[in-house]
Structure 1
Amino acid sequence: MEAAVNQADTIDFSAVRWGSVEWTNLCTLYLRACDGRSPRPILGDTAAVDAVDRIDYDWARMRRSLRPGINQWLVAVRASRFDAWSADFLRRHPDASVLHLGCGMDTRAFRLHPPGEVRWFDIDRPQVIELRRKLYDDRDNYRMLGASVTDSSWLEEIPADRPALIVAEGLLIYLREPEVRALLQRLTDRFPAGEMLFDTLAPIGPRFSKLFTKGIVTWGIADARELQQWNPRLRFLEDAPGFAGSPRIPATPLGLLYRLVCATPAKRYDVLNRFAF
């Protein structure tokens, strides 16, 4: 799937407020672009590189703030795990529907090059989708939907006649447990079969968030397999620590640090999960 690119040569994003949700989306886009420009990229997100090149924003200030030489690798290894699981599902279901929940400015729909029959839906809050539409347009088999995932009405816009791949990277931890339960139930009720990919934090995650990030993380769970008790349709397939891709990090000191974390119980603080239903 190629991006239906908005034809403007340069797009002014200067109205994006520093520290806002939209700014956070630009941060991860920028870090993926940094990986894409590196001599030994992990994700190789050329679509992110193209997007950053077209956006007029204070990237120099963002570079000073984010220190991409440290942070780009973790963003890339996490995304590459979700990409690999997504690509595996699409090889087995080349006519699937894909729901990318909380898509932000992610370019997964374009960097995976899904089969032509795949229907892809990028879903996020209306203000995020409004920003995204400055870069991309809807096209055959690709749509952007502006809605809160906790609102049940948007799901009715998506046909339920195909297996579904549901990707919720960096999303569920910002919902409350009743909202997570309700969302998972709506999704598994809607589609005949599919897979769900998402990340979780340990229960201490919300407590850390109250200390360091103004409490924006609101849900944690010790073992995501517990979700099978919440929802009998969910079936655990596999998981991986968020740091599990650290051997691929070319920055040797940082790679060693991440590998040390993976050798301790702390590796279960941040987990990437794959479920079938």
Structure 2
Amino acid sequence: MQTETVALTHEKETLLITLWAKAGESRLPDSLLKDRFAAEAAARIDYDFARLKVDRNMMIGLAMRASTLDGWVRDFLKRHANAIVLHLGCGLDSRVFRIDPPAGIDWYDVDYPDVIALRQKLYPARDGYHLIGSSVTEPGWIAELPRDRPTMIVAEGLLLYLPEGEVPLLLERLVRHSPAGEIVFDAYSAFGLRLIALQPSIKATGAVLHWALDDPAELERQVPGLTLATELTAYDPDGYDPAQIARMSWQARLAIQFFSLIPPLARLGLLLRYRF
């Protein structure tokens, strides 16, 4: 098996955290994601993943987050047979293969050129699948997207790394470009961002976190046309199967229960779905 050497640093290197977590969760006998593509890709990368200190709890937590976002994408595609999917800061995520969109859907993965080049070595081509090598904050690449089709926009584990002022600008450009659609992503309060920065996996990469969102209604004010449709707190029982949390260690389950009882702690992390 041919291996690929990576030389990613800082924010780019964090994509290896999510890849390793999803690959590891997919190897568990009770896997939620069952993401063989992530497992195969991780196995081909020459990198010391142990330095990222991704444990079983993180694997399960990131798999739960990904599964919820996947579900929102599938729901959108059921309602819009001619949609496009725009995966911002796709990293090495294999979402397009997990969801396996039907014919008629065009899927665009966007990330830095060196990340896209690595994707091309690890993942196969498929009909209707397009790769765009660019920083998401550069406005020029958006012109490559169709303007006349409903659009599902996914940004998982991305926006917190962008400069604070760039997030509403990016979202506004996308809303102006597309006739209608949805935007789904994870967001963190200012306090939540400080806690994430202390995680060993993040510290190992040297990544710097910037964008926080304490009030989801703030984005409605900053980006004309956005309307908040769904807001889930971390491990919200309305959005997550309790059986998945039961797979975690007792220490993690106790912490989740404690955090859920205190609103500011329960809202450290959010999964959000906006319509436009």
Task: Please say if residues 246 and 255 of structure 1, whose CA atoms lie closer than 8 Å, have aligned partners that are also in contact.
Answer: no
Pair 1:112-2:86 in alignment: no
Task: Please say if residues 41 and 122 of structure 2, whose CA atoms lie closer than 8 Å, have aligned partners that are also in contact.
Answer: yes
Pair 1:164-2:164 in alignment: no
Task: Please say if residues 123 and 129 of structure 1, whose CA atoms lie closer than 8 Å, have aligned partners that are also in contact.
Answer: yes
Match of 1:39 in 2: 29
Shift in alpha-carbon separation, 1:211–1:48, aligned structure 2, 3 A:
closer
Task: Please say if residues 174 and 219 of structure 1, whose CA atoms lie closer than 8 Å, have aligned partners that are also in contact.
Answer: yes
Shift in alpha-carbon separation, 1:23–1:179, aligned structure 2, 3 A:
closer
Q: Unpaired segments of 5 or more residues in structure 1? A: 1-9
Match of 2:234 in 1: 242
TM-score normalised by L of structure 1: 0.87
Moved over 6 A (4+): 209-212
Task: Please say if residues 17 and 52 of structure 2, whose CA atoms lie closer than 8 Å, have aligned partners that are also in contact.
Answer: no
Pair 1:97-2:84 in alignment: yes
Q: Unpaired segments of 5 or more residues in structure 2? A: none
Match of 1:251 in 2: 248
Pair 1:260-2:252 in alignment: no
Pair 1:178-2:178 in alignment: no
Shift in alpha-carbon separation, 1:109–1:85, aligned structure 2, 3 A:
same
What is the aligned counterpart of 1:29 among 5, 9, 19?
Answer: 19
Task: Please say if residues 84 and 105 of structure 2, whose CA atoms lie closer than 8 Å, have aligned partners that are also in contact.
Answer: yes
CA distance in 2, matches of 1:35, 1:209: 20
Task: Please say if residues 123 and 146 of structure 1, whose CA atoms lie closer than 8 Å, have aligned partners that are also in contact.
Answer: yes
Partner-residue secondary structure (3-state), 2:75: helix
TM-score normalised by L of structure 2: 0.87
CA distance in 2, matches of 1:171, 1:157: 21
Q: Using the TM superposition, give the Cα deviation of residue 74 of structure 1 relative to its aligned residue in structure 2, in angstroms.
A: 1.0
Partner-residue secondary structure (3-state), 1:180: helix
Aligned identity (percent) is 38
What is the aligned counterpart of 2:63 among 60, 64, 76?
Answer: 76
Pair 1:274-2:273 in alignment: yes
Of stretches 77-86 and 44-53 in structure 1, the one that deviates more from structure 2 is 44-53
Q: Using the TM superposition, give the Cα deviation of residue 238 of structure 1 relative to its aligned residue in structure 2, in angstroms.
A: 0.7
Partner-residue secondary structure (3-state), 1:49: helix
Q: Using the TM superposition, give the Cα deviation of residue 232 of structure 1 relative to its aligned residue in structure 2, in angstroms.
A: 2.7
Whose relative contact order is higher, 1 or 2, with alpha carbons under 8 Å and at least 6 apart? Answer: 2
